[in-house]
Structure 1
Amino acid sequence: MSQPESALADAQAGGRAPESLAALAARHGLRRAIARPSMPAYLRQLWDRRHFILTYATSRNVSKYSESALGQLWQVLTPLLNAAVYWLMFGVILAQAKHIAHYPAFLVTGVMVFTFTQRTVTGGAKSISSNLSLIRALHFPRAALPLAYTIQELQLLGWSMAVLVVLILVMGLPVTMLWLLVPVALLMQFLFNMGMALFMARVGAFARDINQLLPFILRTWLYASGVFYAISDRTKDLHSVLRWALEFNPAAAYIEFMRDLLIYERFPERWAWTTCIFWAVFALIVGFWYFWRAEERYGRG
């Protein structure tokens, strides 16, 4: 019999009121094996496993299309085919191409940027529930999983951005010094996506129905983010509060920021910088804190 169990049995045999198991364990220096570490300790654990996170993300990308005939080419074809459908519906049938200059590049930029966030949110929501066997078999900071899913989508975005650059050059748009800010724009969106993936990972771990609702939520977000149209042109007659909400939308802000750099050849305005930085910092801090608070609950049940 272990020492805490002996102490509990002795207390019961002597007629004394036994102390709680938590107090008994604390008195004998015992602690929970899966107790949530402090925030600094948790960050150190994630940094120590950075190679695992990167390798896991890369391996998922390699295996994702391994059984298809075109293989990794689908990483580029999927967003391009989506953009082609949107161009037919909005550019041709709804005649947006007549009102927006360089509409193919305008549309593809919106699709690529929004798809980066859309797929990260979807992957983050499933990152815990899809890896329960791994979580229950190994002890590691659970945030490694949504972070790996975010890095995976960043790697996919690299291929999409290469296609976008080729399209812009084919359309005759010039290469400017503003293109040097593209990595900055992607970094801000990456930090925002990381926070969203962490937030949705906890939601998806305990509310499985969210995976059924998420496609409808993301589709609404898609239509509200100016992917197919210019928000400034379509919101002139709307109430100022609604117009502000559409422009403050993080997806719309990152899309417009990228369009300014690649298509319009202009330095993003102060509001664009403020909005993009705010959402990157806010989402990362809140998402990480929210996920970390439930660290010891993932994989139970």
Structure 2
Amino acid sequence: MSEKEHVLFEKHIVNLFNDCEELYWKGVRYDEIKAFKPRTNGGNGECKTDIYVSLMASGHELESIKISAKLNNADFLGNKLSIDDAKNLFGSSWSSTLQRYTNSLSPMFLESEVLTKKTYRGVKDVYFLLGWKLEISNKNNRSLVVQLNLPKRDIVNKVYRGFGQPTNRLNAVDPEKNIIINSGIADYLLEGSRTDLTTVETVINKLESFLEYDPPPVYLIFTANNYRVIAKKADGPRTLAVSIDWQTNDEDTKLVPIIVFNNPLAKTGQNDVLPVLKSSLEKLNIDLEAITSETVDSFSIDWL
């Protein structure tokens, strides 16, 4: 599989800095420059700094440039948020606050299709909806979207820069696994593409300091986490802001999907919801293993 464009974009910017023989930053000339993508210490997510540029003299770092890099058409500012992320955004009342957001969209959640047939990469499949993940976006072009009501300074610090993120993201590591304190907090925003940022000078000129940044509206969006029957795959162990409790009726003849709003980010689709779904299907004597790409069209979904 080819690399995604945002990965290529980040590598492109890193290479520009590493190929640079000299750089003037804040009036000072540097000729020892090392750039890399910082990684979380021990995995588990990504820090907000996409590109770390170390400006050195005699092998010692004197200054750094910590960049959050976004493609011009990028949508997401935060993916697959967890309880820790929600606590950072909303504080100790994160659960009730998040429920207020989801409750405001409850009619749309309740109208969602929970069992469908779709084609994914040319393969027909059956989709069981397990719930919805929580994401943050700078666009409101999704069906399940609500504006994030936080002060602009909180949006800059928590959504863009990474204040309050877990320690392993806050203090990220370089390619040699050395921990760099606060390397995961971004200081500058870079928006562009590989075609319009072709030199270090164009990158430097495009950097926006977060100390002066006026963020546009930011939105919470809720994206579906499905179980694809033929692919035998869910969207990993991602926490769900709204989950579905797949039960059966008293006669065990129908599936009864119950949308759960009052337990946000406590369950994952793969590890918690999917086993319940499979147990309910067993009560209905439905064998998912018998469904193939050839028989999917004849597979009945009239169980709700």
What range describes the TM-score normalised by the shorter chain of this pair?
Answer: under 0.3
TM-score (norm 1): 0.25
Greater relative contact order (CA < 8 Å, ≥ 6 in sequence): 1
Q: Whose strand fraction is larger, Structure 1's or Structure 2's?
A: 2
